[in-house]
């Protein structure tokens, strides 16, 4: 079976970058570096937007009934996008605690 990595690999790489930047943002928040936190979170958001755009492009192809081969790799890539979004959201919540924005 020939596998076209150009279909799923960009989703995985953009999502992985988003998670890495989000964790770097959390590290900044833990050390009370609010500017570093904001910078890294913005980079995470940018990568996440790119991943979501690629995911939307694939869904649009499917909606137009154009052939989209669903492989375990594509399912895995979609999972990466979901996990990246969850990490991004959780990092923001944890950063609020570390930066004392929740009144704790």
Mark whether 76 is an active-site residue: yes
Catalytic residue (one of 52, 76, 80, 98): 76
| Single pTM value for the model | 0.88
- The answer to whether residue 3 scores a pLDDT higher than 80 is no
Question: For 27-83, what is each residue's pLDDT tens digit?
Answer: 999 999 999 999 999 999 999 999 999 999 888 887 787 777 788 999 999 999 999
| CB 90, CB 54: distance < 8 Å | no
CATH number of the domain at 5-98, please? 1.20.58.80
């Amino acid at each position: 079976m020939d596998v076209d990595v150009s279909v799923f690999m960009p989703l995985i790489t953009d999502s992985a970058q988003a998670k890495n930047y989000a964790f770097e943002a959390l590290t900044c928040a833990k050390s009370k570096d609010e500017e570093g936190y904001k910078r890294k979170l913005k980079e995470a958001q940018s990568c996440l937007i790119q991943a979501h755009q690629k995911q939307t492009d694939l869904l649009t192809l499917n909606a137009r009934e154009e052939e989209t081969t669903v492989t375990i790799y594509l399912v895995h890539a979609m999972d990466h996008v979901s996990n990246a979004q969850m990490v991004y959201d959780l990092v923001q919540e944890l950063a609020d605690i570390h930066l004392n924005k929740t009144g704790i």
